[in-house]
């Protein structure tokens, strides 16, 4: 088997290409080294002898300063004796001398008396002169010319110097991607759009008979982790055509023109193998808009221009399709997005409830699970999660099962995996003192109690004061009763009250405040500002849009669309809204102080309590019969409000742009 693998590697054209490129690099390195050695040899000190007079030569002999002489046909080379008390560096650069040959019959006798080593130079033959010229002149010249010819041929083929202009796209042929549409879940609309493309590649006559043409390109747009690259591979797997895959950054180099050369080479290869699919991931690396003169980049713009020209130049009748993926469509050049280049924009957004169930089933098909597992409960709890998040949760659940010595995954393992992904692992080595435990307990119970007292809030699923590795000293977990895509003004106001209830509980009970509410305040400020500037829920400003969201598929950062004076008024309105919410939280907690104290004491003792235990104590204190109890679904929630941080998996649905809305 090893011999067969070796033969396959030797017969691989890509390996041969790499060998040729490696040979070129070795050749050039050898030539450069040779010339460096020759240059250093020429620059070595003491290499060229110094001419002296014959009289001085005789004086040196009589003074015993000569160690060796070589008598030639027209000159005498003189090697003086090394001086004593000199280091090796000085001795290595001791000068040599030479003088002319005189008709002196007594010279040899004088040299022998002075104990000088005498050598007679043998005249060079024709053969020796020939090899001397070959090694010092002809061979270096031939190597230099050969290297120049080699580089010229490589560059004339569009490869550039040492192949840096060649496309380095990975080529998948037939089913070697290993992915089909069965492996993609939760993106039914995107799959439907791409299935039409696959059907066109399989049955072009069905479409061309009525005059339809294959789209030149399709742009996959969506947040990170939603499966854009997976969809592209699934298209290639379904179409069973060659699939060229590379990243947008693979085109850009420090040399201007290299990226354009790689684009030309990529489309040349693709046209030769048509029908095929080209997939460029993160195309925003080369497709940024060219209207910003301050941030211009000649190499990137030349690459983009070449890409635009190639997309205009290829014929769709050959079955050549360009797929690209990005999560920053707003920065792409308009010339790249127009019909005729990217004819379709396919949104690959975070999946809905049904989509999350399908994604969990895909990732759980190879995982052993017991009868307690309810994937729909996990899907309902993970609103806003993308495919990579859900895959990570399934994998963490399997790891938890192995760690606990079980052969199958249970619902408890999935429950713990969701917590690990959201707030990290429990920090067993962090031990809070008694006073800190009381503060954190009242803080978290304040969140939960206000949630139970408000009609428009989500039910409590769990309260804990066990520290987590992501900085949480404790958190409240709440679950939605159903998946929602809109939030009313009353729900947002209830959310503000709930976020500030932890700080309110600290002030009521301890008559002071701590740093634990920093993230609560940050989240509440974002919600209040969004209500005023984006949702038109302020009576003072009305329906004017004062902020716009940029990079909605990444951080969703809001950018102000108003002047400085209006921005100051917005800040005042935000402060007023937060103050009203804080006063309401203090009122609710003050009126229910007995329930706050009893639940906090129970939490300090148990460290972690369930939503049912929380509601049971609340109803006991209030004297509410069990049949009037607020429904508490036995499902995992998504909201984690901490004594230090509120860690929430953001809701990326189209209607809810602010990540705090669906906490």
The structure tokens listed for 243 are 């699939």
Reply yes or no on whether the pLDDT at 161 is more than 60: no
Segment 356-401, tens digit of pLDDT: 899 899 889 889 998 888 888 888 878 788 888 899 999 999 998 9
In DSSP terms, 288 is beta-bridged to 332
pLDDT band, residue 274 (cuts 50/70/90): confident
Q: Taking residues 417-443, report their average pLDDT.
A: 83
pTM for the whole thing? 0.66
Closest by CA position to 380, among listed 291, 472, 482, 288: 482
What is the pLDDT at residue 631?
A: 43
Closest by CA position to 638, among listed 418, 388, 395, 427: 418
Taking phi first (over 0 means left), then psi (-120 to 50 degrees means alpha), and beta for anything else, what does residue 340 get? left
Q: Say if CB 582 and CB 420 are below 8 A apart.
A: no
In DSSP terms, 221 is beta-bridged to 326, 347
% of the chain at pLDDT higher than 90: 17
Range 160-172 burial, b when 16+ CB lie within 10 A, else e: bebbbbbbebebb
What is the pLDDT at residue 586?
A: 94
pLDDT band, residue 81 (cuts 50/70/90): confident
Could you tell me the CA-to-CA distances from 315 to 260, 274, 364, 577 in Å, in that order? 20, 10, 43, 59
Reply yes or no on whether the pLDDT at 127 is more than 70: no
CA angle centred on 536, ends 534 and 537, rounded to 5°: 115
Q: Say if CB 446 and CB 465 are below 8 A apart.
A: no
Task: State the residue for tokens 């000159």.
Answer: 75
Q: How far is CA 290 from the centre of its chain?
A: 24
pLDDT band, residue 653 (cuts 50/70/90): very low
Active site residues per annotation: 444
Closest by CA position to 101, among listed 131, 76, 68, 69: 76
Reply yes or no on whether the pLDDT at 585 is more than 90: yes
What is the pLDDT at residue 545?
A: 87
* 275 cis-preceded (ω within 30 degrees of 0): yes
pLDDT band, residue 191 (cuts 50/70/90): confident
pLDDT band, residue 43 (cuts 50/70/90): low
Reply yes or no on whether the pLDDT at 642 is more than 50: no
What is the pLDDT at residue 44?
A: 55
Q: Taking residues 237-245, report their average pLDDT.
A: 81
């Amino acid at each position: 088997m090893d011999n067969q693998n070796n033969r396959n590697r030797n017969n691989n054209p890509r390996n041969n290409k790499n060998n040729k490129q490696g040979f070129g690099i070795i050749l050039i390195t050898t030539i450069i080294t040779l010339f460096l050695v020759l240059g250093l040899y020429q620059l070595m000190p003491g290499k060229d002898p110094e001419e002296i007079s014959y009289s001085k030569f005789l004086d040196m002999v009589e003074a015993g300063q000569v160690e060796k002489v070589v008598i030639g046909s027209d000159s005498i080379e003189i090697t003086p004796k090394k001086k004593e008390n000199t280091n090796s560096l000085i001795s290595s650069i001791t000068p040599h001398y030479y003088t002319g040959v005189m008709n002196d019959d007594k010279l040899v006798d004088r040299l022998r008396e002075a104990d000088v080593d005498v050598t007679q130079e043998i005249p060079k033959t024709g053969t020796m002169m020939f090899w001397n010229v070959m090694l010092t002149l002809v061979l270096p010249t031939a190597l230099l010319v050969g290297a120049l010819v080699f580089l010229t041929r490589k560059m004339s083929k569009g490869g550039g110097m040492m192949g840096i202009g060649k496309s380095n796209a990975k080529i998948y042929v037939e089913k070697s991607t290993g992915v089909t549409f069965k492996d993609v879940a939760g993106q039914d609309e995107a799959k439907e759009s791409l299935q039409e493309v696959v059907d066109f590649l399989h049955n072009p006559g069905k479409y061309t008979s009525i005059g339809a043409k294959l789209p030149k390109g399709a742009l996959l747009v969506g947040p990170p982790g939603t499966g854009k690259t997976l969809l592209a591979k699934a298209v290639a797997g379904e179409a069973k055509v060659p699939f060229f895959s590379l990243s947008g950054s693979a085109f850009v180099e420090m040399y201007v023109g290299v990226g354009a050369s790689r684009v030309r080479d990529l489309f040349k290869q693709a046209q030769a193998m048509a029908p095929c699919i080209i997939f460029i991931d993160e195309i925003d690396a080369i497709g940024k808009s060219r209207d910003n003169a301050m941030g211009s980049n000649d190499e990137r713009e030349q690459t983009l221009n070449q890409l635009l020209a190639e997309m205009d130049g290829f014929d769709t009748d050959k079955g050549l399709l360009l797929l690209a993926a990005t999560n920053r469509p707003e920065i792409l050049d308009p010339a790249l997005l127009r019909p005729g280049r990217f004819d379709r924009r396919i949104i690959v957004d975070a999946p809905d409830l049904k989509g999350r169930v399908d994604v969990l089933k895909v990732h759980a098909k190879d995982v052993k699970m017991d009868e307690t597992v309810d994937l729909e409960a996990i899907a309902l709890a993970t609103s806003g999660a993308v495919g990579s998040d859900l895959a990570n949760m399934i994998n963490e659940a399997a790891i938890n099962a192995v760690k606990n010595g079980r052969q199958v995954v249970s619902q408890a393992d999935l429950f713990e995996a969701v917590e690990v992904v959201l707030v990290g692992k429990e920090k067993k080595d962090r031990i809070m003192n008694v006073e800190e435990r009381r503060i954190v307990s009242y803080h978290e119970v304040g969140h939960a109690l206000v949630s139970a007292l408000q009609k428009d809030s989500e039910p409590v699923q769990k309260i804990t004061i066990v520290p987590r590795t992501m900085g949480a000293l404790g958190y409240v977990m709440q679950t939605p009763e159903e998946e929602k895509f809109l939030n009313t003004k009353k729900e947002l106001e209830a959310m503000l009250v709930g976020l500030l209830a932890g700080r309110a509980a600290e002030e009521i009970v301890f008559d002071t405040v701590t740093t634990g509410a920093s993230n609560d305040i940050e989240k509440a400020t974002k919600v209040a500002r969004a209500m005023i500037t984006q949702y038109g829920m302020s009576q003072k400003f009305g329906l004017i849009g004062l902020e716009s969201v940029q990079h909605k598929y990444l951080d969703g950062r809001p950018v102000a669309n108003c002047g400085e004076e209006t921005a100051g008024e917005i800040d005042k309105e935000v402060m007023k809204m937060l103050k009203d919410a804080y006063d309401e939280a203090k009122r609710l907690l003050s009126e229910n102080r007995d329930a706050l104290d009893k639940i906090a004491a129970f939490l300090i003792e148990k460290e972690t309590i369930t939503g049912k235990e929380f509601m049971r104590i609340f109803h006991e204190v209030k004297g509410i019969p069990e049949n009037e109890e607020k429904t508490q679904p036995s499902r995992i929630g998504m909201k984690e409000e901490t004594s230090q941080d509120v860690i929430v998996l953001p809701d990326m649905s189209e209607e809810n742009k602010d990540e705090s809305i669906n906490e």
